[in-house]
Amino acid sequence: MNLRPATVIFDLGDVILPFEPLKPCSILGNLSGKSAKDVADLIRRENLERRFTEGKIDGNQFATGVLLALGISMTVSQFHELWNDMFTENTEVSQLIRQLKPHHRLMLLSNTNPWHWQHALERYPIVAEFQDRILSYEFGVLKPHPAIYRAALEKIDLRECVIFIDDIETNVAAARIMGIHGIRFHSAEQLARELRALGCRF
């Protein structure tokens, strides 16, 4: 169908930057005598990563909390480097973003923390291609809370078609409830096909 030129909103993790959260957990597990899953479960149970991603605690508090819970001796700097070592880049998605940019407004909407955001900015130039962003640690709310989508819509001309891309169905469903056209991400090829069907140009 033909739509007005769209604002296209991208999730970051596992869309543009695939990541392996168990990778650092495996190393921490080796140091603490636990499995990677046990480490991940402990961090989740202590609510440390969620609070970091919501901006409720800073990096020092996050690192200290994790290391204390695991009984590991490591500097915050060492932990910071370890915790960032989980990302790669989906270069096909990056290419698609660069093709979309001349024709569409691009926005990032991500549940992320300041460490991962800074790492992404420094390591992956594609992140700087976006005209706007809403990051959970700055906003204080995580997807799929309606408030974070509302904040995105406040930045957009609502006469346009607004498209949101995320790998998690609950996040996509929440966007649809807000009147945003949601696409669940599976691959760059699938994404290009669905964007083209909505009238996007690239």
pLDDT band, residue 103 (cuts 50/70/90): very high
The sheet carrying 7-10 orders its strands as 132-135, 105-110, 7-10, 162-166, 181-184
Question: Is the pLDDT score of 156 beyond 50?
Answer: yes
Fold of the CATH domain 7-18+89-197: Rossmann fold (3.40.50)
- Share in percent of the chain as helix, strand, coil (round to 5): 50, 15, 35
Decide if 19 contacts 88 (C-beta within 8 A).
yes
Task: Find the mean pLDDT for residues 118-133.
Answer: 97
Task: Find the mean pLDDT for residues 106-134.
Answer: 97
What pLDDT digit, counting tens, does each position of 9-43 carry? Answer: 999 999 999 999 999 999 999 999 999 999 999 99
pTM of the model: 0.95
Question: Is the pLDDT score of 3 beyond 60?
Answer: no
Predicted confidence at residue 1, as pLDDT, reads 44
What pLDDT digit, counting tens, does each position of 63-90 carry? Answer: 999 999 999 999 999 999 999 999 999 9
Question: Residue ranges of the domains in the chain?
Answer: 7-18+89-197, 22-84
